[in-house]
Amino acid sequence: MEPFAFVLLATSSLAVLCIGLLVRRSGYMQLPTLIGAVFTLWVVPQLWQIRQWVGAYEIGALLTLYAFCLLSLVAVLLGWRAGLQMGRGGAMPANLLSGREVERITVVITIVAAAMALAIGATDVDERMAHQWSGPLTILYFFGNLKVISLFLSISLFLKKKTHLTTALLAVNIGLYFPIIFIHFRRRGMLEAFTCAVLALWFVRRTLVPRFAIMCGLPLGMILVFAVGALRAAARQDEAGNVTLPSLSDILAIDFWSYTPFATRATTPELYNAFTLVRLANELGEHTLGAISWNRFVFQWVPAQIVGADVKNALMFPIDPAERILAAFDIPWRIGTMPTGMGEAYLEFGFLGALVFFAIALIMGRWWARAQRGGVGAATFYAAGLAPAVLTPAFYASYFFNMIVLYVGALVLIAAAVRTGRRAEPGRRQFILPRAPRGPDRS
């Protein structure tokens, strides 16, 4: 039974990935294809490793995790389809943003993102090098996440028209991402840079990356993701806490394949916490019914520096899955691993937790469909939300929603602030994206 369930999940994930890449040339930008890639190249390899760890008494939890992963994959497909139908219907709202207003929005967000990065760099070295950030650093880092919007808009503006301003904006945003990608080797930063670049090319120029390049890049990306810890270790750090690029010889000395789940059993899989959360829910019948997601929302959005730590703690439920797992199974929480979207969603709502992935795909599908019709706002929301949506299976269940509240709220407020208030006129220079060409790449 267990081998069959594993093969079913593996083949289903691979089918979603391959169909998305082969049927639609723009499929590599669509959420279901990218989720299929995450399941094929990240979830399944780790489940392969976990299945060699578990004992006979734990097979039930492993089968439940297989089933929930498969159900979540189906939920993404159904949610995406429903979102496309919603986005295709109805009239598009009038585009009240001119090209100059889009430039102003990009300037404001770029300044905010750069200010957050500079403020983080100016903090004490010991605080920056701490394993877990707290206090003002977490606030600076959180609002610094707006840089994904400025990156997408700066690339789009540059592709639409090269001027001194658009070139400068692009250069600043590349500068913000350079240390994240090439010094700190942050996986989310790499994904954001890739998705913003390919989406801007598609939405502004309707240019596609060659399918062969995408298919070759996926397995290389998988190996890079698993070996990112070795890359970070190769980066040099001085006494002041400044990290510099690792040398080429250091990078070439890394045995990348040895860090994949297929080659090692010594490293704890990042998905192991998901397995223990599912086991906790199954064996003890405990479901938190959204309490963990609520706690994450309060932790992210209620500043203790303003309301006080006591008030903030009072707003949160006294739930700690790590303590429950330790008490029930004598298994410590694996430091450095995330609860994952599947593990946390199942602990929250059981199999109904798959609706989390349905809702994410519904929202993203609607934005994609409206962006295909030329909506610049929908294109920006889709570009900003794609990385959190793709990473939700690897992070935690409410990750997408926490991030999208920031992106949508900031973009709406800043757009309202810079808008001139005049209605669109035929002679006014508006920022308009071309509609997608007719055919299979339209949806």
Name beta bridge partners: 237.
243
Give the pLDDT score at 367.
96
Expressed as residue numbers, the domain containing 166 is 2-442
CA separation for the pair 254, 249 (Å, rounded): 9
How large is the angle between the packed helices 2-23 and 31-38, nearest 10 degrees? Answer: 140
Closest by CA to 319, choosing from 348, 343, 341, is 348
Asked if the model's pLDDT at residue 430 lies above 70, the reply is: no
Average pLDDT over residues 215-238: 85
Per the structure, how many domains does the chain have?
1
Average pLDDT over residues 174-185: 92
Give the pLDDT score at 345.
96
Average pLDDT, the chain: 87
Cβ-in-10-Å burial (0-12, 13-18, 19+) of 399 comes to buried
Of the chain, the percentage scoring pLDDT greater than 90 comes to 56
Average pLDDT over residues 10-28: 93
Region of poorest pLDDT, from 201-210, 216-225, 379-388, 434-443: 434-443
Region of poorest pLDDT, from 158-172, 228-242, 412-426: 412-426
Asked if the model's pLDDT at residue 192 lies above 70, the reply is: yes
Give the pLDDT score at 94.
54
394 contact partners, CB below 8 Å, separation of at least 6: 38, 42, 270, 338, 340, 341
Residue 134: band (very low, low, confident or very high) from pLDDT cuts 50, 70, 90 = low
Other residues' Cβ atoms within 10 Å of the Cβ of residue 210: 9
Asked if the model's pLDDT at residue 402 lies above 90, the reply is: yes
CB 201 within 8 Å of CB 388? no
- Considering the entire predicted model, what is its pTM? 0.91
Average pLDDT over residues 49-60: 81
Asked if the model's pLDDT at residue 123 lies above 90, the reply is: no
CA separation for the pair 148, 70 (Å, rounded): 30
Residue 425: band (very low, low, confident or very high) from pLDDT cuts 50, 70, 90 = very low
Average pLDDT over residues 158-172: 96
CA separation for the pair 62, 294 (Å, rounded): 27
What are the angstrom distances between the C-alpha of 377 and each of 94, 152, 205, 366? Answer: 11, 12, 17, 12
First to last CA, the chain: 37
Other residues' Cβ atoms within 10 Å of the Cβ of residue 362: 23
Q: Report pLDDT digits (tens) over 316-337.
A: 999 988 888 888 888 877 655 6
Residue 427: band (very low, low, confident or very high) from pLDDT cuts 50, 70, 90 = very low
323's tokens: 């303590």
